[in-house]
Amino acid sequence: MSFDSLTRRRHLQAMMAALGQITTSREARAANQNVAYGQTTIPEGIRSRFVKNVNGLTVHMLEAGFDPPNRPCVLLLHGFPELAFSWRKVMLPLASAGYHVVAPDQRGYGRTTGWDSSYDADLALFSQLNIVRDALALISLLDHQSVHVVGHDMGSPAAAWCALARPDVFRSVVMMSAPFGGAPSFPRTTAIRNLPPDIDVDLAKLPRPRKYYQRYYTTREADPNMSHCPQGLHAFFRAYYYYKSADWKGNHPHPLKARTAQEMAQMPTYYVMDLDKGMCETVAPMMPSPAEIAACKWLTDDEVSVYASEYGRTGFQGALQGYRRGADPKNNAELLTFSGRTIDVPSCFIGGKSDWGVYQTAGAVDRMRTSACTKMIGFHLVDGAGHWVQQEQPEEVSRLLIEFLKST
């Protein structure tokens, strides 16, 4: 190779590195194909890679349907306590349907780096609109001008805000498990006179004193409570996932009449906790039996180990920043910029029939279906699924996603 050729090659490599692109040999890519999570492999056809300079992050993502050029892109945003890994069962069906499928570990989670893991981190970096900027930066580096966005749990409002704030980029949106009740509104005079009740105070005054899990997740003790649970992280995740799934037969959700302590206390303790317990103590008694674990095909012990090992390495605080952000007045003030604005791209909702998450915010489903989303063309509650709908019933979720995406 000549000196000029060598110089040009090094210059090109430097430019690509600066742009956050990844240059690997064919052999290196193959070696990286199925080693994202140590001993547990991701399905053949899904690869793991890192993308640099994503709004200040180095993003770890799983990807399928990446070989043919110019495919439409589907961006999958996970929730708590999840990872990109949570989408593994729907990625290949979407890729087979003709899509480039991208599932990142979101800010605060997994193998994505560049975020502050301390309790006193700057919450502005975890604001809802900065999460939108994370998504915009990633798809820009992947050279997509527009995408379909799908979000589950805390990824659901993230996806909704992507579609609301930038409908020119996010051309359709699917929300899972957590309905989007709309942008916040400026208070009116009558609303000022009739302030909503202090739910935390009212829950604590119940005959069986309670507290709301979202408020608990904003506290300093939440991360150490879960990270150092006596039963170990593997048992913690097994019980947590079981308790919120259709496998636990106590999940019989229904709409709540109002956001009052008495109504909210109807929900299981994973949402309205006993006042004197952390989440570690809350889920410990709900550990499934060995027979139930053996019968659980949607979440094997190897798959539980992925969550246990990843959160064992990072802790929970980065992921919990999203709950702290939700209670931050500065974040809510920023969102008031969009007061009165609706989601006007095609939208869809998918939840589990056994998922209390659909109804935990009184009135949110009705607002989503009647006012917050002007082009909602699908509302589905899936049989045999609780909160983890895309993991519990991946075939049906894949079918619904592809049907929606094709219709748009």
396-401 long-range CB contacts below 8 Å, 24 or more apart?
397/90, 397/176, 397/350, 398/89, 398/90, 398/93, 398/94, 400/348, 400/350, 401/74, 401/90, 401/93, 401/94, 401/150, 401/174, 401/350
**Hey, what amino acid is at 153?**
D
Q: What is the mean predicted confidence (pLDDT) over 17-27?
A: 35
At residue 37, the pLDDT reads 65
Q: Among 26-40, 44-58, 77-91, 327-341, whose mean pLDDT is lowest? A: 26-40
Mean pLDDT, the chain, integer: 90
Cα maximum dimension of the chain? 82
For residue 174, the SS3 value is strand
Reported as a pLDDT band with limits 50, 70 and 90, residue 36 is low
Instruction: Give the pair of three-digit tokens for residue 218.
Output: 């904003």
At residue 191, the pLDDT reads 52
Sheet of 100-104: strand order equals 46-54, 57-64, 100-104, 73-77, 147-152, 170-176, 347-352, 376-382
Q: Is pLDDT above 50 for 91?
A: yes
At residue 193, the pLDDT reads 52
Q: Is pLDDT above 90 for 371?
A: yes
Reported as a pLDDT band with limits 50, 70 and 90, residue 26 is very low
Reported as a pLDDT band with limits 50, 70 and 90, residue 188 is confident
282-299 pLDDT, tens digit per residue, is: 999 999 999 999 999 999
E strand or H helix that includes residue 283: helix 279-283
Reported as a pLDDT band with limits 50, 70 and 90, residue 271 is very high
Q: Is pLDDT above 50 for 10?
A: no
At residue 372, the pLDDT reads 98
Domains observed in the chain: 46-182+322-407 (3.40.50.1820), 190-320 (no CATH)
